Structure 1
Amino acid sequence: MNQKIYSLLALVLLLSVTLQAQIEKVEPPFWWQDMQHNQVEIMMYGKDIANLEVVSEKATITGITKTENPNYVFVTLDTKGLNAGTYPIQLKKKRKIVDTYNFELKTREEGSRFRKSYDSSDMMYLLMPDRFANGNSSNDSSDLVTEKANREDANGRHGGDIEGIIQHLDYLEKLGATAVWSTPLCEDNDEAYSYHGYAQSDVYKIDPRYGSNADYKRLADELHKRDMKLVMDYVTNHWGLEHWMIQDLPTYEWIHQFPGYAQTNYRMSTQMDPNAAESDFKYCMDGWFVKSMPDLNQSNPLVLNYLIQNAIWWIEYAGLDGYRVDTYSYNDKEGIAKWTKAITDEYPNFNIVGEVWLHDQAQIAYWQKDSKISAIQSYNTHLPSVMDFTLHDAISSVFYVENPSWDKGMIQVYENFVNDFLYPDVNNLLVFAENHDTDRFNQRFQNVADYKLAMTLIATVRGIPQLYYGSEIGMAGDKSKGDGDIRQDFPGGWNGDDNNAFTASGRTAEQAEYFDFTSKLFTWRKSAEVIHTGKTTQYLPWDDVYVFFRYNETETVMVVVNNSKDARTFDLNRFKENLQNFTKATDVISGKTINVAADKMTIEGKSSFVLELKK
């Protein structure tokens, strides 16, 4: 009788250990063969999982890391030379198998390592998925996440999703877009404001209100069928408070603690200031962006490797063509440089643009790969592309100027390009008139004429043009009313919308004028190699008329932008070094032929020419 009791107690104890040691999460959930990153650090999570022995009979475990939190164990698996297949990882207690995870190595797609990324031949279309189009109303709300759909709330969930993007790819293609940058789609389980996606709660999972991981991969596939590209908005600096790992930190040092919360000072200039106080430097880099977004500690090797692997996993899984990295210059400087280099080592042609929101070209250039400025401090970000915020600053103010002066008017645009010598790669700058965080251009300048001037610049200067969703139909929004107002729903993206601007027949006359201009300009740009990689010569503006040339060995384009309300007539002889023996030109927008062999040229007020020169 006693023996039976002892046996029963032993069985209960074994079952108890088994239940306690149940594997709840494994990240990354799988990997691929033939990767440069072949030492895969697998995070395994479960109640008291660190108390168990970890073994693998089919693969070599080269490292096991445990922290003060017994619910985590980090297992490094050597995948070098392994074929695609399943490699069981066993958890044991006194030689008994408590749990097993079958870690899969998948077959890598042919050519994956050397995939082509976005570049200066592209036009990138930035959209906020929750506000673009609702293709599947059944996922507007989900029991898996807290916030439910409420289209009446400007800051709430409206129901836009991945299916809505897929259904309107023909529209984007006709517009002239060749790459789509969507704000984050991973799960954001905040109680409110979760639509923007920057407070992520699970970085291996698409938010169910947008769809599934498979839907995201399908979006990439559908884009690729159209020779278009998908750019993921990646957040390395912070997660949301609701992230499951923040709720049960793997280690105290997983996030920056002071202890607990401390606000960043937002002074990114401290990151390159040789005279900066150490405390100011630290609070910029380590302080939390906002109280609801804990700041990740990229100087911790576990955190850094987790972020590297997650980024590689999404590229390989979904077939991504590039990254935009949020708040790039708020990260740990050395850590983010290692993260960036790891991605580009794995994918040598992969482009990554970092959000470096500064207002000085030297400070922005500091963050681009191989910058001679950051080299002074023996620092290299390895970041291929940065955002041209100083050009944005100029475009945001220049069209207000009615009486140009020494430093006001089109000279502000000219002066932006004077400093191009600071950048290691001027063709790899993202140029834009607005984005999801700035004032809406069409709110600041409420007329199509100024919009056309801004788009002429964005489409023809060096770099990669980026268009914010809805600008092409005249969408506006007042940032002083809150971010929700500059992130309004695209008309026609929801069943029952009175106005459907996705279709030519559904657009108002005003929307059509915006769209038709944008479509013609950027469709032309797709094949305009001289714009993609040509050199630039610019001339000092005169009477607020700005003239510059883009040229290569076989083509020359003359761009004329008249910011004055009045027509201007100017002397063409001034531009002889670029006009050379050209006699006529075709205006890309109007199709008209213009005589450039004449002495004078006249351009109407608030208008532009994009002239393909011919002999």
Structure 2
Amino acid sequence: MKQLFFLISVFFSLSTFAQIDRVEPPFWWSDMHESSLQIMFYGKEIAQYEVSVSKEVVVENVLRTENANYVFVTINTKDLPAGSYAFNFSKKGAKGFSRSYELKERREASAFRKGFDASDAMYLIMPDRFANGDPDNDSSEKMQEKADRDNLGGRHGGDLQGVIDNLDYLEDLGVTTLWSTPLLEDNDKAYSYHTYAQSDVYNIDPRYGSNEDYKRLAAEMHSRDMKLVMDYVTNHWGSEHWMIKDLPTYDWIHQFPGYANSNYRMTTQYDTNRSQIDWKYCVDGWFVSSMPDLNQGNPLVLNYLTQNAIWWIEYADLDGFRVDTYSYNDKEGIAKWTKSIMDEYPNFNIVGEVWMHDQSQISYWQKDSPIGAIQSYNSNLPSVMDFTLHDAVMTVFDEENPSWDKGMIKVYENFVNDFLYADIDNILVFSGNHDTDRINHTYKGDVDKYKLAMTLVLTTRGIPQLYYGDEIGMQGNKAEKGDGDIRRDFPGGWKGDDNNAFTEAGRTATQNNYHSFTKKLLNYRKGKEVLHFGKLLQYLPENNVYVYFRYNETERVMVVINNNPEAQELDLSRFAEGLAGNISGKDVISEAPINLKNSLKIKGKSSLIVELK
């Protein structure tokens, strides 16, 4: 009887003591390009157990760290069919417990999915501020911060259902690709609506919906021939992340020891004259005190981030990543991360946030950069963001008295440096995003200046990106009221809103003025390969009038931007090279015929987009 009691006690001791709280990735797929899969098992004192797997599974490595709550088991999935495989945990020869692990079937041709490119127009939303499709999930018992729409920096209730409900609006506008700021769980006590301080990177924040909802969003978009881009964060997590509270290794995050803030001087990444301490505080310093800095130099961290990114691509059927604070990462580590993803999905696309103000410094971070090659560095990153063009756009249309370096010459000079980029068609061009001033605030609600900016962004080289609400004239004062004011709720996204800007009837006359121009140009661009991948021919601005052409072997489009408040008349003989013998065209916006024989008149503060005939 005593022996039976002893065996029962041992059984219950083993089964409860070695509880597995988490397995990540939670499942995987067969027939992946990379056959090594590292599975993390987490549970109290789990490292004291030996691990074995089904006979057909090759175990490449079992790794334990200084934290006994973790075991990392690497298996080889090559030639393993889809199915469930048992991981057995034993102690001193006695069976402890088992955990089933599933390999799923991949989608057909999953590896060859096509990412976004210059044929797309990308629309950026902050989901908490876009539309509230399910008021029941505005707050969650699991999450610390509750909904408070009266708080500019609080959670307002926008969610995935709200996005799905308004896909018709985006499709009608002419958008082909959606970039949403992060949707993964963020359990910060305040300001969690931006979701860049993530607390669980395998689960959608319940206040946005579920993993299944995210998967459904992708499916709904693909049924409309639209693409979905995930905002991925490699540089940091939130201080509430469950792993931060129980680190697998001391060096999972950068420690000084503990916290030290970044100096944000990204130029130290390639400054040959830098001091080591300045470089360390840029790369290893935390972005802010609530966002511990991840150490991509630790192979365990790098592999965890790589597998997590691939898991989301495969699970949700994604079409691209936008990577937050790309140039703050360990540059060798992030290059490996990027290459691993692109090796798995050769036609995928990833755009990195490289917020710098010099083209050569931005170019450094693009794949095969001639600048990076000087230091034998290749990030493997297909796309970067054109922040220098953004800098020009945010000032130039207020510069009505041109000089050597003021007025439209700023835009011209930006494109002069295109030779610095390895792939000029694969850079993201934009007038604003969730971190910058609203363009319509900068230009004080002047719709004519907005149209000038959109003409440029939507007809020049690269991949155009719009920020939600710009197309209806939304404003916001970042300097005086903070980030929350440039991230206002889209009108009509909440029941009881004063007007519904998702519909023509619900928009005000001013909102429709903004919207109709944007819609016309976006939908024209959608079918114009010459605006996607055509060459750019530009002319030095005269009298603050900037003229350029997009052309290929079969099509030509002439763009005229008059930044002068006075009407101008152009002598077209100067533009003979661009006109290439064409003497007529069509105004893309008004659809009126345009005579191009001798001269061209253009009103003050206006643009012309002319399809040449």
Taking structure 2 as the reference length, what is the TM-score of the superposition?
0.99
SS in structure 2 at match of 1:244: coil
Offset from partner CA, 1:29-50 (integer Å, 9 cap, x none): 1110100121100000000000
Tell me how far apart the structure 2 counterparts of residues 533 and 440 of structure 1 sit (CA, whole Å): 28
Question: Residues 189 and 242 of structure 1 are in contact (CA less than 8 Å); yes or no, is this contact kept in structure 2?
Answer: yes
Match among 116, 119, 122 for residue 121 of structure 1: 119
Judge conservation of contact 1:157–1:193 (CA < 8 Å) in 2. yes
State the partner residue of 1:540. Answer: 540
User: What is aligned with 1:16?
Assistant: 13
Would the aligned equivalents of 1:23 and 1:99 in 2 still touch at CA under 8 Å?
no
Q: Deviations over 1:374-415 (max 9, x none)?
A: 111111000000000000000001011121101100000000
Asked if 2 retains the 8 angstrom alpha-carbon contact of 1:478 and 1:485, the reply is yes
> Which residue does 2:389 correspond to in 1?
391
Are 1:48 and 2:45 counterparts? yes
SS of the aligned residue for 2:484 comes to helix
Partner of 1:605: 604
Which shows bigger deviation, 211-220 or 4-13? 4-13
Find out whether 1:523 has 2:523 as its counterpart.
Answer: yes
1:77 CA drift (Å) = 1.2
CA distance in 2, matches of 1:374, 1:578: 33
SS of the aligned residue for 2:111 comes to coil
Q: Residue 449 of structure 1 contacts residue 607 of structure 1 at CA under 8 Å; is this kept in 2?
A: yes
Q: How far is the alpha carbon of 1:101 from its aligned partner?
A: 1.4
Match status 1:580 vs 2:580: yes
Letter in 2 for 1:474: G
2:500 is the counterpart of 1:500 = yes
Specify the SS of the correspondent of 1:113: helix
**1:255: which partner in 2?**
253
**Post-superposition shift, 1:580?**
2.4
1:30 pairs with 2:27: yes
- How far residue 94 of structure 1 moved from its aligned partner, in angstroms, is 2.6
SS in structure 2 at match of 1:376? helix
1:490 aligns with 2:526: no
Q: Which residue of 2 aligns with 1:65?
A: 63
Q: Look up the match of 2:156.
A: 158
1:418 maps to: 416
Name the CA distance, whole Å, in 2 between partners of 1:390 and 1:558.
23
- Aligned equivalents of 1:324, 1:37: Cα separation in 2: 22
* Structure 2 equivalent of residue 570 of structure 1: 570
2:371 matches 1:373:
yes
Partners of 2:94 and 2:605 in 1: how far apart?
79
Offset at residue 10 of structure 1 (A) = 3.9
- The residue aligned with 2:345 is 347
Query: In structure 2, what is the Cα distance between the partners aligned to 1:86 and 1:54?
Result: 16
- Is this contact kept in 2: 1:394–1:413, CA < 8 A? yes
Q: Is the 8 A contact 1:442 1:476 kept in 2?
A: yes
After superposition, give the CA deviation of every residue in 1:95-145 in whole Å (9 maximum; x if it has no partner). 333222111010000010010110000000000000000000110011111
CA distance in 2, matches of 1:554, 1:402: 36
Instruction: Give the CA deviation at 1:583.
Output: 1.4
SS in 2 for 1:434: coil
The alignment status of 1:464 with 2:443, answered yes or no, reads no
Match of 2:448 in 1: 449
Amino acid at match of 1:143: E
- 1:68-87 correspondence to structure 2 within 5 Å: 68-87=66-85
Mapped to 1, the partners of 2:489 and 2:318 lie a distance apart of 26
Separation in structure 2 between the aligned mates of residue 17 and residue 241 of structure 1, nearest angstrom: 32
Deviations 1:423-471 (A, max 9, x none): 0000000000000000000001021000000000000000000000000
Q: Which one-letter code corresponds to 1:461 in the other structure?
A: T
Note if 1:406 corresponds to 2:404: yes
Letter in 2 for 1:553: E
The CA distance in 1 between the partners of 2:62 and 2:279, in whole Å, is 34
Specify the code of the residue in structure 1 equivalent to 2:452: L
- For the residue of structure 1 that corresponds to 2:608, the secondary structure is strand
For residues 20 and 559 of structure 2, what CA distance do their matches in structure 1 show?
Answer: 62
1:338 matched to 2:336? The reply is yes
Q: CA separation in 2, counterparts of 1:563 and 1:400?
A: 8
Q: Does 1:91 align with 2:89?
A: yes
* 1:234-249 mapped onto 2 (5 Å cutoff): 234-249=232-247
Deviation at 1:278, TM superposition (A): 1.0
Q: Distance in 1 between matches of 2:347 and 2:94?
A: 47
> 1:232 aligns to what SS in structure 2?
strand
Q: What is the DSSP-based 3-state SS (H/G/I as helix, E as strand, rest coil) of the residue aligned with 1:203?
A: strand
Quote the Cα distance in structure 1 between the aligned partners of 2:528 and 2:211: 36
**Number of residue equivalences:** 610
Name which of structure 1's ranges 202-211 and 599-608 shifts more when overlaid on structure 2: 599-608
Tell me, in whole angstroms, the C-alpha distance in 1 between the residues paired with 2:378 and 2:509.
Answer: 50
Q: Which runs of 5+ in 1 are unaligned?
A: none
The answer to whether structure 1 residue 131 and structure 2 residue 90 are counterparts is no
Query: Which residue type is aligned with residue 137 of structure 1?
Result: P
| Alpha-carbon separation, structure 2, partners of 1:97 and 1:223 | 48
Residue aligned with 2:136, SS: helix
Paired amino acid for 2:93: R
Q: Alpha-carbon deviation of 1:5?
A: 3.0
The residue type equivalent to 2:504 in the other structure is: A
Q: Residues of 1 paired with 2:530 and 2:599: CA distance?
A: 25
Q: Give 1:6 shift.
A: 4.4
C-alpha distance in 1 between matches for 2:97 and 2:210: 28
AA in 1 matched with 2:475: A
RMSD of aligned Cα (Å): 0.7
| Partner SS state of residue 523, structure 1 | helix
The offset of 1:14, in angstroms, is: 3.1
Partner of 1:283: 281
Q: Distance in 2 between matches of 1:587 and 1:426?
A: 27
TM-superposed CA distance for 1:209, in Å, is 0.3
Q: Distance in 1 between matches of 2:521 and 2:590?
A: 10
> Matches of 2:94 and 2:151 in 1, distance apart?
55
Hey, what does 1:476 align to over in structure 2? 475
For residues 211 and 594 of structure 1, what CA distance do their matches in structure 2 show? 51
Normalising to structure 1: TM-score of the pair? 0.99
% identical equivalent positions: 66
Query: Aligned partners of 1:97, 1:527: CA distance in 2, in Å?
Result: 63
